[in-house]
Every structure is written in C-alpha cells, then in structure tokens.
Amino acid sequence: MTYLHLILAGAAAKPGSAGSAWVAPTIVISIIALAVSICTFVLAGRRTRLDRQRQVFGDAMDAVMTYREYPFIVFRRNVDEPTRERQRISTDLSALQARLNGFKGRLNVEDPYVGARFDELLAATRRIVGSMIAEAWNREPAPSDDRVHNPGWDFGELESYDEAFLRAVADHLGGLWAPARRRLREWGIG
C-alpha cells in the first residue's frame, strides 16, 4: 500500500481500530514538516535579503570613498593635456555623483535609519571633500612625482559620519532587531 492509501485507510477506520492509530501521528508529522519548510523558506529569504543589502551598503560606502579620492585625482591631473583632463575628470565625477544619488535613494528604501545615516555621511562628504576638489582645481597640478603627496587635506571631520553609517549598517545586519540594538547601546549595554 502507498502512504496515501494508509492515511485514507486510517481515516476511514473505526475509532480504536489499528488503522486509526496512524492518523494522529501522520497529521502531527505533516504539521511539523510544514513548519520546518516554512521556517527554512523564511530564513533562506532573510539570508538572501541580508546578503543583497550587505552588498548595497558596501557599494555605497565604496562610492563615498571613491569620491574622497577626487581632490587627489584633480591635483594629480596631467598638466600637458588640461582640456582632456578636465573633460575626463568631470565626466567621471559626474557619473560618480549620479551613482551616489542612486545609493541615497536605494538606502532609504532598504532601511530608513541606514538611509538617513548615509544621507548625513554623503552631505558631510560633499561639503568637506567638495571644497577640497574645488581647491584642487584652483591649484596648479602637481608638477612632478615627488609633489603628488597629500598637500594637507584632512578627512578627520568625516570619521564620526563614517562610524555612524557603519554602526547603523551593523545594527541592521545583526541578529538582534536594529531598534532594540540601538536602544541597548544608548543604555550602555551594547
């Protein structure tokens, strides 16, 4: 007999008969199997979502760090081809700005709290690094290889924004519900 026949025979049997002894365990096993399947499905979906978000958050931070390189890229531009360099750097910087704006929107959709920390990070980075880029355009390009080092630009003011964004990402991706994790940190527990 097949498994289905056993179940049907058990359901049709009179109470107290040998066939009815199979019905209750079969139903319990089926419910447990269903619960395990649902849990596996939910956990696999969560893992996939977190992996995707981890990639998006990392790419957003990478784009911010790339933007921070532009004062140096502008300062080290080729002095022999000013028009070509201006076009190349401006085009690359424009594409990066569009990418940053895209991340701004995506992160606000993924998680409003993480998105808000990214908005703060991006605004501070544009304010501080943007003035460095303008200064680099107003300087003469580095005249030789021994002069390409940092001319004194300091990114220290951005560290607190970096930390706030990375902490928000860690909270979001952590095992504990992010708002609870933030609350525990406020209380000095986490």
Contact 77, 141 (CB under 8 A): yes
Number of structural domains in the chain? 1
In a domain, 34, yes or no: no
Closest CA to 75 of 135, 152, 136: 136
- Taking alpha carbons only, the member of 62, 86, 80 closest to residue 136 is 86
Residue 27 forms part of a structural domain: no
Round to the nearest angstrom and report the end-to-end CA distance of the chain.
Answer: 59
Note whether residue 115 is domain-resident: yes
Domain that holds residue 131: 51-186
Residue 60 covered by a domain: yes
Round to whole Å and give the CA distance between 38 and 43: 9
Residue 102: inside a domain? yes
Give which of 177, 172, 190 is closest to 50, Cα–Cα: 172
Asked whether residue 19 is domain-assigned, the answer is no
8 belongs to a structural domain: no
pLDDT (tens place) for every residue of the chain, 190 residues total: 555 455 555 555 555 555 567 878 888 888 888 888 787 777 766 777 778 889 999 999 999 999 999 999 999 998 889 899 999 999 999 999 999 999 999 999 999 999 999 999 999 999 999 999 999 999 888 877 777 777 789 999 999 999 999 999 988 887 766 677 777 777 777 6
Would residue 23 count as lying in a domain? no
Dist CA 78 CA 112 (whole Å):
42
